[in-house]
Structure formats: structure tokens, C-alpha cells
Chain A
């Protein structure tokens, strides 16, 4: 069974600073991986996904993530934080064969200060 671990329930950065949100996965074979963002009292929006086509995945709003098999990681980064990036971010994993549900991490809340 797949699972993901998000390190850090809260991450604080200053506006303009690098954003790094960590996600490690557990899976017997390389899975599919996703990052979602959730603004307060809203649903989740897909930021990006890894489907084995390329290890560096670019998403919306300037975010990207790199799949590293040796580290079983899929960390989310953005070179320069904006105030509008303040939200909760969820990493999710699924298997690659047949019908697969998503398994979500517990989320990381990103706080951006001026």
C-alpha cells in the first residue's frame, strides 16, 4: 500500500523567499504523485502531478516538484513566495495499475509574511 509523509505541519517564509514543502512517499514501485493546494474554506486544486514522463514537473502558479527515486521524495518548491501562496498544501500518492484511489498526506500550512 502506498503512503506519503509531509514533514512539517507549518512552514513560514517571508515574501520573496524560497518555498520548500517536503513530501516523502512509501511504495514498492514508483507511484504517481500529486500536489494539491487548498485555500481557506475551499476545495482542493491540483497544482501538479508526476506520471513518470519527467522527473521535474512544473505546475501552476510557479510551483514545481522533483521526483527523486533514490530519496523517495517529491518536494514542492517555488523560487519566490507571494502573499497569495499562503494556503494548505497536500501531497498525494496513487498506484499505477488498475483503479487507484489517492492517499493524502496530512498537509502543510504555508504562512507568508511581508
Chain B
């Protein structure tokens, strides 16, 4: 079955440590996205990538980094510079501009809940 996987489901880290969240998709989508979700704030876009080896900052990129070396993978690193890293992180993918015309509805993974103490 096609879909998006995120691992692990729950992640615990000590303050000051970098941590990398995994996101893999087998939908053959060009575009991938990372969101942060906090209670009452909806989804906020961290980074997105329209194509391999290219990515753009979203609305809250400070303290995060990404890479897009393969079409299927878009890992997110939460660095020690992120002041409030505890949150629920969601990865999504969609067809991109090269794959067809909009709308580019997004398909989501199950999320990773990160707790930093």
C-alpha cells in the first residue's frame, strides 16, 4: 500500500540535543512538507520541498533543518537552537508542479510526538 511513514511515533530527548525525525513516502510525490502542531494553533509549516535537492523555509523554520537527497525521504532535524521543540510533528506529501495541475492536496503521515525535557 502507498503511504507516508514517520518514525518513531514517540521520541524523548534531553534539552540541548539535536534530534532527527524520519519521513518516507512511496506515493511517488515530488513535494514534501513538515508541519508543527501545537494545541489551539493548527498546523504551522516548517519547511517544504518541491523537488529533490531543493527546499524552502516555511513560516517557522528557525531552529530546524532538512535535507532532500532522495525523492522518497525528507528528514527533519530539530536542533538545540529551537527554543520550544516539544510538539507533534507531521510530514506530508503531494504531487508537485511538475506532476500536474493543482489542486495539490496533501497526504499526511501518522506524526511523531517529540518531548524534550
Residues of chain A at the chain B interface (Cβ within 8 Å) = 9, 32, 34, 36, 41-46, 49, 51, 90, 94-102, 104-107
Interface residues on B, range: 20 to 34
Residues of chain B at the chain A interface (Cβ within 8 Å) = 4, 6, 31, 33, 40-43, 45, 48, 50, 58, 88, 90, 92, 96-97, 102-111, 113
Question: Besides A43-B92, A90-B43, A107-B40, 10 other CB < 8 A contacts?
Answer: A41-B111, A43-B4, A46-B107, A49-B105, A90-B42, A95-B102, A97-B102, A99-B31, A101-B45, A106-B41
A99–B105 Cα gap in the complex (Å)?
11
B42 & A106 in contact (Cβ 8 Å cutoff): yes
Which 10 residue pairs are nearest across A and B when measured between Cβ atoms?
A43-B108, A32-B103, A106-B42, A99-B97, A44-B108, A104-B43, A43-B110, A104-B42, A107-B42, A43-B109
A42 & B104 in contact (Cβ 8 Å cutoff): no
B50 & A99 in contact (Cβ 8 Å cutoff): yes
